[in-house]
Amino acid sequence: MHRTTTERHPDAAAWIPHARKPSLERDPVNEITLGNVTVTRIEEMHGPVGMTPDQFFPGSPANLWKEHRDLLVPDHLGADDDLVQVAMQTWLVRSEGRTILIDTGVGNDKTRPAVPGWDHLHLDYLGALAAAGVQPSDVDLVVNTHLHVDHVGWNTRLVDGEWVPTFPRATYLMPRADFVHWNPANNANVAGGVNENVFEDSVAPVHAAGQVQLWEGTHVIDANLTLRAAPGHTPGSSVIELASGTDRALFLGDLIHTPLQVFAPDHNSCFCEDADAARTTRRSLLGWAADRNALVLPAHLSGHSALEIARDGEAFTVSGWAPFPRY
Ligand SMILES: [Zn+2]
């Protein structure tokens, strides 16, 4: 049965953003090199989502969280409050001379009635990008892995009362299936859900400016990066494979929100639209990464933000963390 996102997780309203002031100096520890590609973590915010593990991951047993508690606390699970910890971050990728942003967070000034903690934010995300050496006009390509509220926010910004593309030169790659699904003209469930207003303020203005390129199936970005459909979390959810030299990486979007889903890949987040497809896609992609020793970069992992995994029987285990500093 299809239900709206809001019906399934009203506690998303309890999200508490923790913005970190970006350093004015570029922090080399925040950037890694994979083959001919560099990857930099750009933080919008991090902190507790206001949901317990059972709320965020319905049906995940308490003893499973207990079993992995040492690995999860405090970066991914609060030590005292038992609340799931996540981050909002963009992966800044420089490849073949182009500046690419993967996912654009929640954004500023947006009206978000279903998620008060994301309503009318005023965070210095553009300052964080500037600290990494990127001005909005430098961005060549924006990749929205899917069109949930927390992946398209900085697609636009408010200028003189109008939503305009934040990145004036960029092409924005969006999955066609999500472009159709989240348009309120096609989907009565958007009203009142977490994606209320999102199409209007963060997707349509970019489309009207002629900057959106819709894709489906597989889309080759360049010789190092390939977008692939990974449906389940949303109909158009996608991942980006990186293959450069001998290095491999996988930008996983929202296929996992916590390292626990590496150990127990059948547990979906409450934000997954199609439970069976999300489980199948997660298992398949984690397997792809484990078999290639690929660095896994989810959209919302806190702590070191990215990890390496290995097969462990029917599931997987965490075999290492990326060298990004812990939040
Ligand atoms: Zn997300």
Q: What are the tens digits of pLDDT across the range 183-238? A: 999 999 999 999 999 999 999 999 999 999 999 999 999 999 999 999 999 999 99
Tens digits of per-residue pLDDT, 240-290? 999 999 999 999 999 999 999 999 999 999 999 999 999 999 999 999 999
Instruction: From residue 254, give the alpha-carbon distance in Å to each of 203, 209, 223.
Output: 19, 27, 24
Spacing, Cα 32 to ligand 1 middle (Å): 23
Spacing, Cα 254 to ligand 1 middle (Å): 5
Give the model's pLDDT for residue 18: 42
Spacing, Cα 236 to ligand 1 middle (Å): 13
Spacing, Cα 296 to ligand 1 middle (Å): 16
Task: Answer yes or no: is pLDDT of 124 > 90.
Answer: yes
Task: Answer yes or no: is pLDDT of 111 > 70.
Answer: yes
Q: What is the share, in percent, of the chain residues with pLDDT greater than 70?
A: 91
Spacing, Cα 316 to ligand 1 middle (Å): 22
How many Å apart are CA 310 and CA 251, to the nearest integer? 17
DSSP state of 325: P
Q: What is the mean pLDDT of the chain?
A: 91
Confidence of residue 27 (pLDDT cuts 50, 70, 90): very low
Looking at domain 10-321, its CATH architecture is: 4-Layer Sandwich (3.60)
Q: At 116, which amino acid appears?
A: P
Give the model's pLDDT for residue 81: 86
Reading the block at residue 7, the tokens are 């019906």
Spacing, Cα 300 to ligand 1 middle (Å): 7
Spacing, Cα 29 to ligand 1 middle (Å): 25
Spacing, Cα 299 to ligand 1 middle (Å): 6
Rounded to two decimals, the pTM is: 0.91
Spacing, Cα 88 to ligand 1 middle (Å): 8
For the chain, the distance separating the N- and C-terminal CA atoms, rounded to the nearest angstrom, is: 38
Task: Answer yes or no: is pLDDT of 17 > 90.
Answer: no
